[in-house]
Amino acid sequence: MRNSRLNCLAILLAGGEGKRLGLLTKERAKPAIAFGVKYRIIDFSLSNCVNSGIKTIGILAQYRHHTITSYIGDGSSWNLHRAAGGMITVLSPAKRNEERNIYRGTADAVFQNLNFIKLHNPCLVLVLAGDHIYQMNYRKLIDYHIEQQAEVTIASTEVPWEETNRFGILNTETNGRVIDFREKPKKAPNNLASMGIYLFHPKILEKYLQQDQKNPQSSNDFGKDILPLMMADNRRIFAYPFRGYWMDVGTVRCFWKANMELLQENPRLELHNKDRPVYTAGVNQPRYYRSGRKIKRSLVDSGCRIAGEIDHSLLFNGVDVGKGSIIRDSIIMADVRIGTNTTIEKAIIDRNSIVGNNCRICPSSNKGDDLILIKENSIIPHNSIIESTGKKTAAGPLHEFLRRAVKGGDAYESAVYRF
């Protein structure tokens, strides 16, 4: 059992475009998005590997892959560099004759990198999603897999009933063996969802990946194609029950919600647990403000200059908030500059943006479930109003404001998301 634990190779899927995150993924890969003031989304899966003793990892990147590669570097921020006994490799799609250089689906991504898996000759292959927020001890998953004599084990968790159509839903026997799997059903038989975490024996994985490639109608996806193939062959598939915090931040709503949950007095996600730390390339330690005259119920990173009021919000590194401005229920990403007497509520302002004086960015009063997202590098002129029903700018100051803008700035782009 000990050898199986140590000789486990992790394959981290980080290639999706993340269209459901809208403007947040316009210039970067989904796993590279900043989260919780000092982290990136990919930090959580990588940290889980390190804390579980898995130190050989292949990251399958495609969309905006440079944002993953530049962030990972040599892996030293997660103790995954060679000097620490680790190996982390970012793998881009292999060219196929006349075809475009792409991964056609999650299963195809792993298939294109079978040689990487064979090179390391692991006892087990752990396939992970790179866009989930959670802390898991993969050693327990491996132990469960071995005890059940499983051929593939799927990490599972219960999700809200109204969200079951977003996930693969599992039906199991009392011993945990999967007897039915439905990918994103319109009407789910239960709410036990696949977490997109699969533990395979390498030969089984290779067999079904190759079989899937022979089907021209396949979407080359683990949930849609590989698992149904295995179910049809009555393979030993088991569901590992996970009871901790887990959030698929694949939508703007879920991303905002997961960040806001960090502001609870006792958040379920334990970012500062010494037994299972979350490693990151960020070096700053944000400060949590429980109460105060100007800042309360908020996480604020270092380098912020605040002359206004902050309530129930997250401010990333280097944010400036002018006098008389109010930030509430919002996420303000790195190096955003906010002018004076501006109000921002239920919004995500992406990095390097500039918000002028006397602006109002918040949902309309009759649209309480709306959320406003401002794209990175946006420039919002003085006296602008951005709300659920539209946007208004003062034509006069616009030209002058753009002319004075920092290099690389752009006219703003925003979107409204309804929960």
The pLDDT assigned to 275 comes to: 87
d(CA 127, CA 112): 14
The pLDDT assigned to 100 comes to: 55
CB atoms within 10 A of CB 328: 17
The pLDDT assigned to 16 comes to: 72
Domains for the chain: give ranges and CATH numbers.
2-261 (3.90.550.10), 287-418 (2.160.10.10)
The pLDDT assigned to 95 comes to: 58
Tell me how far apart the terminal alpha carbons of the chain are, to the nearest angstrom: 45
Render pLDDT for 28-53 as a digit per residue (tens, 0 to 9).
Answer: 889 999 999 999 999 999 999 999 99
The residue ranges of the chain whose pLDDT is under 70 are 1-6, 94-101, 282-286, 288-293, 365-368, 389-412, 414-419
Residue 164 burial class via C-beta count within 10 angstroms: exposed 0-12, middle 13-18, buried 19 and up: buried
Kindly give, in sequence order, each residue whose CB lies less than 8 Å from that of residue 102, ignoring residues fewer than 6 positions away: 62, 93
**Contact indicator for 49, 199 with CB cutoff of 8 Å:** no
One-letter-per-residue 3-state SS of the chain: CHHHHHCEEEEEEECCCCHHHHHHHCCCCHHHCEECCCEECHHHHHHHHHHCCCCEEEEEECCCHHHHHHHHCCCHHHCCCHHHCCEEEEECCCCCCCCCCCCCCHHHHHHCCHHHHHHHCCCEEEEEECCEEECCCHHHHHHHHHHCCCCEEEEEEECCHHHHHHCEEEEECCCCEEEEEEECCCCCCCCEEEEEEEEECHHHHHHHHHHHHCCCCCCCCHHHHHHHHHHHCCCCEEEEECCCCEEECCCHHHHHHHHHHCCCCCCCCCCCCCCCCCCCCCCCCCEEECCCCCEECEEECCCCEECCEEECCEECCCCEECCCCEEECCEECCCCEECCCCEEECEEECCCCEECCCCEECCCCCCCCEEEEECCCEEECCCCEEECCEEECCHHHHHHHHHHCCCCCEECCEEEEEC
Give Cα separations from 40 to 37, 155, 172, 326, 331 (angstroms).
Answer: 9, 22, 34, 26, 14
Residue 116 burial class via C-beta count within 10 angstroms: exposed 0-12, middle 13-18, buried 19 and up: middle
At 143, which amino acid appears? D
The pLDDT assigned to 85 comes to: 81
The pLDDT assigned to 397 comes to: 35
CA dihedral 135, 139, 144, 150 (to 10 degrees): 110
The pLDDT assigned to 292 comes to: 59
The pLDDT assigned to 411 comes to: 57
The pLDDT assigned to 416 comes to: 62
Tokens, residue 123? 């006892």
The pLDDT assigned to 48 comes to: 96
